[in-house]
Amino acid sequence: MTLAPDRLTAAETARLMARFEAAGAVPVDAPMLLPAETLLDLYGEDIRGRAYVTRDPVAGELMLRPDFTVPVVQMHMASGAEPARYAYAGTVFRMQEAGSDRPNEYAQVGFELFDGGDAAAAEAEVFALFSDMLAPLDLRAATGDMGLLMAAVGGLRTSAARKAALLRHVWRPRRFRALLDRFCGRTPVPEARAALLARVAAGEDVMVDAGPVIGLRGADEIARRVAALAADAAEPPIAPRERALLDDLMAIEETAPNALEHLRDLAVDLPAIRPAVERMAARIEALRARGVNVDALDFEASFGRTALEYYDGFVFGFYVPGRPDLPPVATGGRYDAVTRVLGGGRAIPAVGGVIRPALTAELGGTA
């Protein structure tokens, strides 16, 4: 007898959950409706524009959960011990673009590991677990590390404001590159801004004839924005050498060991990335110890830059070769910054990932 698609997905979900529990995970659940304010900031612009948000007269603004990671972090930070492993399954909800045939709601099964000990060992444990479970499907695995680009930006010889702007848009490659072009002097200043800055440089009070304030920004906020634009205009451009090193870093697509050697060469001129490079080296050895064939493992320095904005270190994904029309079968990574925000400054290193059981069931099921 052939199972209906929903029953097939349910059977696959149960099988995945059983594997995660066998790996030491405690099964947990999360509410379907979550407080929106903090979570929208954590999830970033991608999900902010795709979340289903509503308002309750008592609870305030709420959203249908777009994933499980943040609510699981909230639960752990409130009462969890370390190390801790959790597994969960359920439906998540995300709006899709007009014309997309991807579903607005779909099942996720996930695993999260909170461990303040050996970071490389924790990342290797999670990746190896997913790799073993998905091995029957013959997927392509891709890895990356958001920490490398973040460290490189942090080491630039430019203003703190410019570095903060670049870091804010690191998950949006086109916007990031446009900002970088501007900060490097490769794109001209818009005419209206140039005229405004010329008046500021001449000592004019541009707020005098600004007219009535219309919209959400007050006069003080507008004045601060004008001052920030003037301060940025006074900054020298980012040096061509630094830009070339960043471009080199973002373009790396090699096997993990070859990428590591390339990054070590770059670190000679980009010393800010050295700690992240050494963390990558430790992770490769931990993966090797777990039986992962790292010599054939793809590493892309820009991988993860269009994923959820809370990833801030190691990232990974599993894809069906030759099927760009399909979403990733599984994704995951490190998200220490989320625990720091939700813990009021108390961070607990965390790494995890999710699998789409409907996809694995369609592709033939996991081991």
Amino acid 142: pLDDT: 95
Q: What is the pLDDT of residues 54-71, one digit of tens each?
A: 788 888 888 888 888 888
Same domain assignment for residues 219 and 163? yes
Residues 95 and 177 occupy one common structural domain: no
- Among residues 238, 272, 298, the one where a domain terminates is 238
Domain contains 266 = no
Lowest mean pLDDT among 23-32, 211-220, 253-262: 211-220
Helices vs strands, H then E, count in the chain: 15, 12
The rounded mean pLDDT for the chain is: 85
| Within a domain: 111 | yes
| DSSP states of 249-296 | HHT-EEEHHHHHHHHHHHHHH-GGGHHHHHHHHHHHHHHHHTT--GGG
- Inform me whether the pLDDT recorded for 357 exceeds 80: yes
What predicted TM-score, i.e. pTM, was given to this entire model? 0.86
In a domain, 20, yes or no: yes
Total domains, the chain: 2
3-class DSSP state for residue 345? coil
Give the pLDDT confidence score for residue 224 in this predicted structure: 67
**134 falls within a domain:** no
**Whole-number pLDDT of residue 269:** 96
If DSSP codes are grouped into helix, strand and coil, which group holds residue 350?
strand
What integer pLDDT is reported at residue 6 of this predicted model?
Answer: 82
224 within a domain of the structure (yes/no): yes
Q: Would you state the pLDDT for residue 198?
A: 62
- Give the span between the Cα atoms of 301 and 142, in whole angstroms: 10
The lowest-confidence range among 124-133, 209-218, 303-312 is 209-218
Tens of pLDDT, residue by residue over 204-233, are: 665 555 555 445 555 566 566 666 665 666
List the beta strands (DSSP E) in the chain.
26-27, 33-35, 53-56, 60-64, 84-93, 105-114, 140-145, 253-255, 298-300, 314-319, 330-334, 350-355
Q: Kindly tell me if the per-residue pLDDT of 329 is higher than 70.
A: yes
pLDDT of residue 223: 61
Domain assignment of residue 182, given as a range = 158-238
